[in-house]
């Protein structure tokens, strides 16, 4: 290994606060503090494994230019503000989506929301769920950098940390100028629940949070959500759908309903580590992550979404309308990367690295997702031709990043 590569590995491992030689845990600790330490070891191992794997890099991604994505709380105040300023910049640039297709897309930021709305039933509970969102997130990060001058990387929200501290005490959600904005204004939701399910599946009753109204603090306090809703779950067993269609113009404030009980139940450190260690194939991995229908469990993916709540947070179609979506899905990608690097030959390059079909729970029945399955993010991206095979490693294909 070249000296530059050794130094890069050393720097990354030092930032992860764990040694690659620490023994890997065999199962998730039921003690969430211990599980958080286990997660540090697993992420450190994944970073080391990416850097030292026998075929780790593409022709353009080298040890000297690999980027490092970091947890929000580890960023300096200046780095956090640089990120939110770039998001606000994107929200003030003109949309690329044609008005004939998405008349409600008024900003460059809305291009991502519109694309996600359009493709939701082809990118959840599918074989491309993980890969599609990895590429979607990457292109968002590149837009922040190339179109808005952002010099950092896409940060992530470690749900386990906010589960331990309480969401409103988390640097992600504390409502300060260095946060992703805070909770929504309090609305009386006494005796109400968030009800999920339907379509023949048992209903899931989730608690409401302590907010529910428009956010009033932080960098996004004046933000306007333009698109949706498509299937917004409102406390009281109500589903809201825009009468003129989810891609139409429907300006409203950004709402949140931070819900500690959902965070601590579904997206604590034990749940995160268990999702990395228990599943032995990608089908089980992504089903545990998204929640197995009919079990009443919404997984760490649903746990993060419904813990932030609000509008568009509780709308699976329109959820990228909340800027915190991208921190949430960066954590999803971290968990996938960490799981992959426990067995990269099989989980990146093997025949079982991709499982599932191209439609939501295979309804309607569709072809299996393969390495040749094309990925498109429409007007959001740069129009590159990408397949599932291109997005399986964070240092191959279009990518060049690791996590710390």
Judge whether 59 and 190 are in contact, CB under 8 Å: no
Per-residue pLDDT for 394 more than 70? yes
At 200, the pLDDT band (50, 70, 90 cuts) reads: confident
The predicted pLDDT at position 187 comes to: 98
Q: How far apart are CA 375 and CA 132, in angstroms?
A: 6
Nearest to 71 by CA among 167, 174, 156, 141: 156
Long-range CB contact pairs, 345-352, < 8 A, 24+: 347/282, 348/392, 348/393, 349/392, 352/281, 352/282
Q: How many CB atoms lie within 10 A of CB 140?
A: 24
Average pLDDT, the chain: 93
pLDDT of residue 22: 78
**Whole-angstrom distance, CA of residue 292 vs CA of residue 199:** 14
Higher pLDDT pick, 323 / 53? 323
For 151-179, give the DSSP string.
-S---B--HHHHHHH-GGGSTTTS-STTS
Across 220-378, the runs of DSSP E, i.e. the strands, are 224-225, 232-234, 238-240, 252-253, 374-375
**Residue 28 pLDDT:** 99
pLDDT, mean of residues 234-252:
96
Is the CB of residue 266 less than 8 Å from the CB of residue 299? yes
Per-residue pLDDT of 133-191, as tens digits, reads: 999 999 999 999 999 999 999 999 999 999 999 999 999 999 999 999 999 999 999 99
d(CA 334, CA 345): 18
Question: Is 252 exposed, middle or buried, given 0-12, 13-18 or 19+ CB atoms closer than 10 A?
Answer: middle
291-331: pLDDT as tens digits: 999 899 999 999 999 999 999 999 999 999 999 999 999 99
Residue-wise pLDDT tens digits, 263-293 = 999 999 999 999 999 999 999 999 999 999 9
Task: Look at the pTM and tell me if it is higher than 0.85.
Answer: yes
Say if residue 199's pLDDT is above 60.
yes
Query: What do you get for the CA distance between the two ends of the chain, in Å?
Result: 21
60 against 147, higher pLDDT: 147
- Among the ranges given (64-73, 191-200, 271-280, 391-400), the one the predictor scored with the smallest mean pLDDT: 191-200
All structural domains of the chain: 3-8+55-403 (1.10.1280.10)
Q: What is the pLDDT of residue 201?
A: 79
What does the pLDDT read at residue 117?
Answer: 99
Q: How far apart are CA 326 and CA 133, in angstroms?
A: 10
* Residue 94: predicted pLDDT: 98
247 and 117 in contact (C-beta within 8 Å)? yes
* Overall average pLDDT of the 228-249 stretch: 96
Q: What is the rounded average pLDDT of the residues 217-238?
A: 97
Tell me the DSSP string of 214-236. Answer: EE-SSTTTT-EE-S--SSEEETT
DSSP annotation of 76 reads -
CA distance 245 to 238: 17
Q: Inform me whether the pLDDT recorded for 5 exceeds 70.
A: no
* Closest-CA residue to 15 (of 402, 378, 319, 278): 402
Is pLDDT of 222 > 80? yes
Cα–Cα nearest to 386, from 67, 138, 156: 138
The predicted pLDDT at position 197 comes to: 84
Please say if the pLDDT value at position 102 is more than 70.
Answer: yes
The proportion of the chain whose per-residue pLDDT surpasses 90, expressed as a percent, equals 87
Q: How many CA atoms lie within 13 A of 286 on its CB side?
A: 25
């Amino acid at each position: 290994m070249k000296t530059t590569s050794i130094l890069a590995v050393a720097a990354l491992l030092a930032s992860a606060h764990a040694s690659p030689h620490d023994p890997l845990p065999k199962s998730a600790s039921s003690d969430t503090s211990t599980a958080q330490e286990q997660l540090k070891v697993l992420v450190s191992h994944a970073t080391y494994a990416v850097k030292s794997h026998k075929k780790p890099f593409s022709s353009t991604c080298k040890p000297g230019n690999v980027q490092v994505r970091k947890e929000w709380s580890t960023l300096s105040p200046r780095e956090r503000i640089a990120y939110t300023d770039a998001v606000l910049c994107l929200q003030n640039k003109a949309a690329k989506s044609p008005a004939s297709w998405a008349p409600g897309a008024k900003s460059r930021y809305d291009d991502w929301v519109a694309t996600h709305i359009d493709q939701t039933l082809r990118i959840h509970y599918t074989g491309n769920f993980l890969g599609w969102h990895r590429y979607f997130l990457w292109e968002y990060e590149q837009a922040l950098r190339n179109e808005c001058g952002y010099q950092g990387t896409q940060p992530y929200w470690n749900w386990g940390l906010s589960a331990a501290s309480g969401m409103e005490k988390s640097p992600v959600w504390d409502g300060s100028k260095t946060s992703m904005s805070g909770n929504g204004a309090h609305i009386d939701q006494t005796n109400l629940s968030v009800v999920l399910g339907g379509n023949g599946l048992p209903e899931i009753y989730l608690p409401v949070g302590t907010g529910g109204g428009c956010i009033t603090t932080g960098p996004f306090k004046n933000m306007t959500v333009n698109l949706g809703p498509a299937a917004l779950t409102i406390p009281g067993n109500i589903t809201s759908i825009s009468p003129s269609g989810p891609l139409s113009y429907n300006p409203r404030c950004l709402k949140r309903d931070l819900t500690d009980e959902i965070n601590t139940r579904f997206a604590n450190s034990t749940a995160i580590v268990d999702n990395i260690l228990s599943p032995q194939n990608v089908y089980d991995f992504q089903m545990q992550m998204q929640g197995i229908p009919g079990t009443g469990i919404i997984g760490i993916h649903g746990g993060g979404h419904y813990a932030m709540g609000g509008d568009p947070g509780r709308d699976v179609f329109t959820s990228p309308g909340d800027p915190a979506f991208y921190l949430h899905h960066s954590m999803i990608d971290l968990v996938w990367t960490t799981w992959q690097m426990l067995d990269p030959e099989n989980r990146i390059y093997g025949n079982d690295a991709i499982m599932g079909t191209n439609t939501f729970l295979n309804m309607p029945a569709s072809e299996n997702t393969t390495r040749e399955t094309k990925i498109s993010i429409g007007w959001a991206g740069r129009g590159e031709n990408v397949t599932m095979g291109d997005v399986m490693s964070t240092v191959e294909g279009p990518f060049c990043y690791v996590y710390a």
